[in-house]
Amino acid sequence: MKVFDRAKVLIDYSMSITDNVKRYPKKYRFTFVDRIQNLTLDIYKNLSKSNECPVDKRRPLQTEVLGDINVLLALIEISHTRGFIDLRTMEIWTKKVMDVKYMTAAWMKKA
């Protein structure tokens, strides 16, 4: 499914942005960086779990993915506000997150 490919792209992009110490100083590693990285991994994990369980059990996991995406979007916005990332990076990153969000929502509607 394409949503898994997009989620992997999101993980890769998020890791490359947050691993850059010039963007995120070390004192923010445990507040912003770890949370962002864990959220992207949790999104993929819950999508995978959702794909493996019976159709009637998928909705809670998919809903959790959408909730994690909303938190991730907020952290990206805060990262921009605090000057960790520029506007262009925020736009690219947000697009990648929204791709996963829209595909997950479409998957929920199919079931």
Domain extents in the chain: 2-110
The pLDDT tens digits for 79-111 are 999 999 999 999 999 999 999 999 999 999 986
Give the global pTM: 0.94
93 within 8 A of 76, measured Cβ to Cβ: yes
Which of 60, 61, 47, 64 shows the shortest CA–CA distance to 9? 47
The pLDDT tens digits for 3-28 are 999 999 999 999 999 999 899 988 88
Which of 94, 100, 95 shows the shortest CA–CA distance to 2? 100
**Which class in CATH covers the domain with range 2-110?**
mainly alpha
Counted residue by residue, the chain has a size of: 111
CB burial readout 71-85, b (16+ within 10 A) else e:
ebbebbeebbeeebb
